[in-house]
Amino acid sequence: KAGVTQTPRYLIKTRGQQVTLSCSPISGHRSVSWYQQTPGQGLQFLFEYFSETQRNKGNFPGRFSGRQFSNSRSEMNVSTLELGDSALYLCASSLALNQETQYFGPGTRLLVL
Amino acid sequence: AQTVTQSQPEMSVQEAETVTLSCTYDTSENNYYLFWYKQPPSRQMILVIRQEAYKQQNATENRFSVNFQKAAKSFSLKISDSQLGDTAMYFCAFMNLQGAQKLVFGQGTRLTINP
């Protein structure tokens, strides 16, 4: 089975722009979670999606949003980018909600200038 | 809120040695999972091992094993016969089985295996 894929792998944007990141889960997995990884804050939970519904959201401003499609693919969007949004964004998929191991994609590295 | 603490920012051992990475966590929940993930320089987060809190037996996966002490809220990872490919950041993570299916990560331990 193919693993979790994320596109693009690298991205450079300027302050004020917006960005959309994509995640395709492992085939058959229906739950997708997003995490932000920075040197200062470490790994922090952004959102969790299951059956096209956002089930939970972490402590991030409203500029961070996401969605999930009927094929379980997910996108996250960050509007009005700030320098502090520079990070590695990791997507993880699991079979279902709760009691499941999350498997991670390679991440999208976002640099905001 | 749950917290995970890894007290060793960096560790270094020689190839073939055994190394133990420490992790403690704080939670009032009773049903949860604990994980160790490995993140090599490629940045891909790879699952190393999983422990269910209701299981008394410590999980093992080939050269990797854990020492799970539920009462002490301690979850250490032992790597036996360490290999150069084990060089990576290692993250301890907690998942509560109630509520949000989110992983709460420690700050990580940078492990270097020297030839």
Taking only the tens place, the pLDDT of each residue in A93-105 is: 998 766 578 999 9
Nearest CB neighbour to A45, from listed B44, B47, B103: B103
Quick one: tokens of B33? 């999972």
Q: Among A103, A70, A90, which Cα is nearest to A2's?
A: A103
CA distances from A8 to A5, A43, A58, A90 (A): 9, 20, 23, 12
Q: Render pLDDT for A2-48 as a digit per residue (tens, 0 to 9).
A: 899 999 999 999 999 999 999 999 999 999 999 999 999 999 999 99
Between B20-29, B33-42, B92-101, the lowest mean confidence (pLDDT) is in B92-101
The nearest CA of chain B is from the CA of A14 a distance in Å of 23
Model confidence band, residue B87 (pLDDT cutoffs 50, 70, 90): very high
User: Which whole number is the average pLDDT over B84-100?
Assistant: 91
Choose, out of B36, B101, B110, the residue to mutate when testing the contact with A (most A CBs < 10 Å): B101
What confidence score (pLDDT) does residue B15 get?
A: 97
- By the CB < 8 Å criterion, does A73 face chain B? no
Residues in chain A closer than 8 A to B104 (CB atoms) = 45
Q: Please, which residues have CB within 8 angstroms of residue A33's CB and are 6 or more apart in sequence?
A: A45, A46, A47, A48, A49, A91, A92, A93, A94, A102, B101, B102, B103
Q: Among B98, B111, B84, B91, which Cα is nearest to B45's?
A: B91
What confidence score (pLDDT) does residue A98 get?
A: 64
Residue A1 pLDDT more than 90?
no
Look at the block and give the residue holding tokens 């320098």. Answer: A83
The nearest CA of chain B is from the CA of A81 a distance in Å of 23
**Mean model confidence pLDDT for chain B:** 94
The nearest CA of chain A is from the CA of B114 a distance in Å of 24
Q: Render pLDDT for B34-84 as a digit per residue (tens, 0 to 9).
A: 999 999 988 889 999 999 999 989 999 999 999 999 999 999 999 999 999
Contact A3, A64 (CB under 8 A): no
CB contact under 8 A, A99 and B47: no
Residue B2 pLDDT more than 90?
no
Total count of residues recorded for chain A? 113
CA distances from A98 to A21, A33, B31, B35 (A): 24, 12, 11, 14
Q: Among B80, B75, B21, which Cα is nearest to B51's?
A: B75
Residue A71 pLDDT more than 90?
yes
